[in-house]
Amino acid sequence: MKPETRNSKLANARLDLASIRERLASSRGQEYWRCLEELSDSEEFHKLLTQEFPQQAAGLLDGVSRRDFLRLMGASLALAGLNACRPASVDEKIVPYVNQPEQIVPGRPLFFATAFPLSGVGTGVLVESHEGRPTKIEGNPNHPASLGATDAFAQASILTLYDPDRSQVVRNAGRISTWSAFLTAVNDDLEAERVVGGGGLRILTETITSPTLGNQLRQLLAKFPSAKWHQYEPVSRDNARAGGRLAFGTDVNTIYRFENAEVILSLDADFLFSGPANVRYARDFAGKRSVRQGKVGMNRLYVIEATPSVTGAMADHRMALRPSEIPNFAAAVAAKIGLAVQSTIDAQRFQWIDALVRDLQKHREASVVVAGDGQPPGVHALAHAMNQALDNVGKTVVYTNPIEANPLDQMASLRELVKDMESGAVRILLMLGGNPVYTAPVDLGFAEQLAKVPLRVHSGLYEDETSAYCHWHIPETHYLESWSDIRAYDGTATILQPLIAPLYSGRSSHEILAALLGRSGETSYDIVRNYWKGQKIAGDFETGWRRAVHDGIIAGTTFQPKSVNLKAPSSNWFAGSPSVSETRNPKPETQNPQAEPGRSLEISFQPDPTLFDGRFANNGWLQELPKPLTKLTWDNAALVSPKTAQRLGLSYRIGARGGEHGRVFTDLVELRYEGRSLRAPAWIVPGHAEDCITVHLGYGRTRAGKVGNGTGFNAYGIRTASAPSYGTGVEIRKIGTQYTLACTQFHHSMEGRDLVRAAALEEYRKNPDFAQGEHHHESAGSLYPGFKYEGYAWGMAIDVNACIGCNACVVACQAENNIAVVGKTEVTRGRELHWLRIDRYYKGSPENPETFHQPVPCMHCENAPCELVCPVGATSHSDEGLNDMTYNRCVGTRYCSNNCPYKVRRFNFFQYADFATPSLKPLRNPDVTVRSRGVMEKCTYCVQRINGAKIEAERENRPVRDGEIVTACQAACPTEAIFFGDINNRDSVVAKAKGDSLNYGLLTELNTKPRTTYLAKLKNPNPEIKSD
């Protein structure tokens, strides 16, 4: 070979390298360089890979300098190595993971910002990724809806990603097909439609706040002018939207600023637990209740609700009213505040209404009235009016433009769609996500009408009830698998970036719409990116985009408050709401309480606290998660008040196996409503409104998957379009048989033991040490000298006052520590494995009790009783005070559990951990052992995180900083109720907390010296109201 040719070869080799470098340097920013669909799809890349080796290899033979060789290898392999995380199914060149891509250090996780979408609204999260496998969801501190915390749903969503039951292939009439087959199939029909302007094309989506998706839909409507875009969300915010329109005449998005609210009146609003901003609201709310470190002020919460809720459990004053009575109550309050609304009300029924109103008026500009999504528009309008009247607008309430891409009355929209389907006007129905066949109001007969549509397409995570009715089913990408964007409750937009290439041949809604637009080549990445190119992002786009993806929020997208002008309250605010009749002539339950059983009751439909609207039905973590107040798992039930249960003669029996901690047999009842009937187990809930039944949606799925099928009953079966949230005229009667429910804590009372110590604010001011209790013998003497803990001494403090019992910590713990799901039968035998449980106690009358939540992890006692009795030393103390479990040494005597006064130890009675299912393996946290049969396990204070931080600190040759170690439960907690750190460092947050006068230990009279302690609960009752 002639030298010059060789040189020329080398020359263009360098050229290639240069282009590679700039490519790497440019668009694919470091934050998301691993997500490579677009990179690998781009033909330059293909050329690069194909051309590079052969040519240079030729060059190599005739003595290329070693440096050149290495440079070439390095560059090509670096690029190739990147897409090693794509599964082999993809038709791209796979190159083994031979050398170290920058940033990845095996064993050290990376975090990527994205957002968790629920009902179309996003909560910012950071996703922990181990060598390309997302394993854990954390909150995104920069994101307004998260502030670093998450709820249980976000935590559990990682399991859905790896769910083996997810739909994996395009299906045509149930038979396996392909994406391209789908495109060719629908192409002709689309063409036909385009000719007629898309008159027969309908698109049904869930609520959409994604700007890009909204834009795509608008483009589609532009292409098909007479096509229609419908939206339906089973747990909708229609009432709130309508209420806004009633009050202001325009669509508004209401944002509450609880950090400014001294007095809060909730009209059936569970704002701490549900709704698009629950995590943020919980944080703000709790912030105003903490009285530690000098702060002595505390907000006051009044809750009027039918079904005991997480929010209601936090109330200083709570009143249980049937849903239909609440508008009436709202009107009464409004009237007393001075609004021109008439309300028929006998004041003595609502004892403390006057005190409430005085309290509100005393706190102008610092009070807030919140209406629940279940309440009719009128109540929302009234709430707006009251907030206006109390000068709260701008202070505790802020209005912005709606965050939805296209706000509309979803129920009406669905009605219209069904009508069109019935009339045969619909020729193509494209359902992007959602599961309307299962969730649509039963009286619309959605499924039957759907059958009339000639071409039905459905995309979803699962092959569910709806896809069974469709010609085409397209597997949807999980939000961790694809690019997208979404808005938060305050309009803040987030770019969703994928953490892993699609596990199955999934397609995002963006790609599907692009295909319909005839641009099937486009990837989600291009679509989203191009959309935002069009928007004005501060500074130059590249940096702005990279910052946005990195931070998890797009700067400057938060909606600005807009000024609104209130219309005069009018009586037609209540027109059409199902509660009208009720409102006009309220039926106080003081009248004929001994009425005949089966007399008409009221029914309230609520999203399930763990399965939401049913979309999480196949998520084992959520199925097994004890519901906040009922502590039920794997089932829903018809909730009734103790009195009503007594009147109806409903009974229960505690099972002999498991008992209070597991198995309860309750009467099966039949609910007759609007000519339809339903069988459900009855469950007695203290504090529930009388003559009212609450049923939770989301159960009774038939095509959810292995986990979700056949759990509970389907409440959608009697839910009508006219009364989606509540209605009257339910007949209930016992069937005579009983049903087994898995309940992890059936015992309500604290049995006079001071486990949760609580006091009213006044008491606390008088006696700040009340929490120390009567017996002060914390340091009950020991004949033995205690152990000295020099260096770190890890400890935890849990603020019972802040805990709202939302369960986020429980799921976070399960995700972090590879805790197995045991299934209903084992739960009924008292064998669930949760390391962290939330105890729920009631105090006071069963009609309207006080509720207490107490998260109970391992106490890591310094004098651990469990360690003493272990015959093989499988549980022992670290010199930092951790109560360690050595799984591989455990022989399973279970003596430690018997001797644990807190009963926080969990035992693998069988082989619970699933070692078989391949798709679950990448889910596991590689830093935590997966336990096998016959060994004990329990909370470790996330020892893997502790050691991770210690190693980090040692490498940097410094002590571990306070707040550097965050346990999984602590990280997830929306209300910052959990503190963790080094108690030897006296200025650590946890040490300060433990120094507080509210600090107390559990069962310290046993001289266990627990490292986990609690901060007592405080209530702030209105002095004018004497507690009943």
Cβ distance to another protein smaller for residue 136 or 905: 905
Cβ distance to another protein smaller for residue 268 or 937: 937
- Name the helix (H) or strand (E) containing 797: strand 794-799
Footprint of another protein on 530-569 (CB under 8 A): none
Select the span of 8-16, 382-390, 697-705, 900-908 touching another protein (CB under 8 A).
900-908
Select the span of 123-131, 259-267, 671-679, 861-869 touching another protein (CB under 8 A).
861-869
DSSP state of 9: H
Q: Binding of another protein at residue 738 (CB under 8 A)?
A: no
Minimum Å gap between C-beta 632 and another protein is 15
Half-sphere exposure of residue 673: CA atoms within 13 angstroms, side-chain side:
31
**Are 413 and 232 contacting, i.e. CB atoms less than 8 angstroms apart?**
yes
In angstroms and rounded to an integer, the radius of gyration of the C-alpha atoms of the chain is 30
Q: Strands, E, within 923-1028: which ranges?
A: 936-937, 978-982, 999-1001, 1012-1015, 1017-1019
Minimum Å gap between C-beta 745 and another protein is 5
Q: How far apart are CA 293 and CA 286, in angstroms?
A: 15
Among 897, 944, 984, 997, binds another protein (CB under 8 A): 897
Q: Binding of another protein at residue 750 (CB under 8 A)?
A: yes
Q: Binding of another protein at residue 843 (CB under 8 A)?
A: no
CB burial of residue 1007 (10 Å; 0-12, 13-18, 19+): middle
Footprint of another protein on 600-659 (CB under 8 A): 654-659
Footprint of another protein on 989-1018 (CB under 8 A): 1003, 1006, 1009
Q: Binding of another protein at residue 781 (CB under 8 A)?
A: no
Minimum Å gap between C-beta 897 and another protein is 5
Footprint of another protein on 920-959 (CB under 8 A): 933-936
Cβ distance to another protein smaller for residue 1 or 891: 891
Minimum Å gap between C-beta 900 and another protein is 9
- Identify the CA nearest to 835 among candidates 862, 816, 863, 853: 816
3-class secondary structure for 926-952?
Answer: CCCCCCCCCCEECCCCCHHHHHHHHHH
Could you give the angle at which helices 353-362 and 326-337 cross, rounded to 10 degrees?
Answer: 50
Per-residue x/- mask for another protein, residues 338 to 367, rule CB under 8 A? ------------------------------
Cβ distance to another protein smaller for residue 865 or 926: 865
Q: Binding of another protein at residue 270 (CB under 8 A)?
A: no
Cβ distance to another protein smaller for residue 524 or 814: 814
Among 445, 598, 865, 948, binds another protein (CB under 8 A): 865
Cβ distance to another protein smaller for residue 166 or 1009: 1009
Cβ distance to another protein smaller for residue 138 or 937: 937
For 32, 78, 150, 641, the CA distances from 606, given in Å and listed in that order, are 39, 52, 21, 16
Among 291, 360, 742, 755, binds another protein (CB under 8 A): 755
**Are 699 and 715 contacting, i.e. CB atoms less than 8 angstroms apart?**
yes
- Identify the CA nearest to 1016 among candidates 736, 769, 712: 769
Q: How far apart are CA 583 and CA 566, in angstroms?
A: 23
Task: Give the number of other CB atoms < 10 A from CB of residue 355.
Answer: 16
Cβ distance to another protein smaller for residue 162 or 842: 842
Cβ distance to another protein smaller for residue 879 or 954: 879
Could you give the angle at which helices 238-248 and 377-389 cross, rounded to 10 degrees?
Answer: 50
Contacts of 638 by beta carbon, 8 Å cutoff, 6+ apart: 669, 671, 680, 681, 682, 683, 693, 694, 695, 732
Minimum Å gap between C-beta 862 and another protein is 5
Minimum Å gap between C-beta 993 and another protein is 22
Among 30, 103, 898, 947, binds another protein (CB under 8 A): 898
Footprint of another protein on 420-459 (CB under 8 A): none
Q: Binding of another protein at residue 907 (CB under 8 A)?
A: yes
Q: Binding of another protein at residue 889 (CB under 8 A)?
A: yes
Half-sphere exposure of residue 807: CA atoms within 13 angstroms, side-chain side:
27
- Identify the CA nearest to 874 among candidates 934, 834, 964: 934
Task: Give the number of other CB atoms < 10 A from CB of residue 951.
Answer: 13
Minimum Å gap between C-beta 779 and another protein is 13
Q: Strands, E, within 162-305: which ranges?
A: 171-172, 175-176, 201-205, 228-231, 253-256, 263-267, 300-305
**Are 512 and 474 contacting, i.e. CB atoms less than 8 angstroms apart?**
yes
Q: Binding of another protein at residue 751 (CB under 8 A)?
A: yes
Among 71, 672, 734, 747, binds another protein (CB under 8 A): 747
Among 903, 921, 986, 1026, binds another protein (CB under 8 A): 903
Q: Binding of another protein at residue 902 (CB under 8 A)?
A: yes
Select the span of 105-113, 236-244, 352-360, 779-787 touching another protein (CB under 8 A).
779-787
Minimum Å gap between C-beta 235 and another protein is 30
Token pair belonging to 749 = 């009372």
Minimum Å gap between C-beta 891 and another protein is 5
Q: Binding of another protein at residue 776 (CB under 8 A)?
A: no
Per-residue x/- mask for another protein, residues 52 to 81, rule CB under 8 A? ------------------------------
Task: Give the number of other CB atoms < 10 A from CB of residue 350.
Answer: 18
Could you give the angle at which helices 152-162 and 808-816 cross, rounded to 10 degrees?
Answer: 40
Minimum Å gap between C-beta 933 and another protein is 5
Q: Binding of another protein at residue 34 (CB under 8 A)?
A: no
Among 749, 767, 779, 845, binds another protein (CB under 8 A): 749
Footprint of another protein on 184-243 (CB under 8 A): none
3-class secondary structure for 111-125?
Answer: EEEEEEEECCEEEEE
For 355, 628, 636, 682, the CA distances from 712, given in Å and listed in that order, are 42, 17, 5, 12
Footprint of another protein on 822-841 (CB under 8 A): 826, 829-831, 837, 839-841
Three-state DSSP at 587 gives coil
701-417-517-117 Cα dihedral, nearest 10 degrees: -40
Q: Cα 645 vs. chain centroid, distance in angstroms?
A: 32
Among 787, 947, 951, 986, binds another protein (CB under 8 A): 787
Footprint of another protein on 867-886 (CB under 8 A): 867-873, 876-879
Q: How far apart are CA 851 and CA 828, in angstroms?
A: 24
Footprint of another protein on 465-504 (CB under 8 A): none
Q: Binding of another protein at residue 166 (CB under 8 A)?
A: no
Token pair belonging to 372 = 């629940």
Interface with another protein: number of residues (CB under 8 A): 75
Select the span of 115-123, 323-331, 478-486, 863-871 touching another protein (CB under 8 A).
863-871
Task: Give the number of other CB atoms < 10 A from CB of residue 88.
Answer: 7
Could you give the angle at which helices 509-516 and 211-223 cross, rounded to 10 degrees?
Answer: 20
Q: Binding of another protein at residue 862 (CB under 8 A)?
A: yes
Among 614, 662, 686, 698, binds another protein (CB under 8 A): 662
Cβ distance to another protein smaller for residue 3 or 871: 871
Phi, psi (5° rounding) for residue 347?
-55, -30
Minimum Å gap between C-beta 475 and another protein is 37
Cβ distance to another protein smaller for residue 772 or 863: 863
Among 401, 720, 899, 919, binds another protein (CB under 8 A): 899
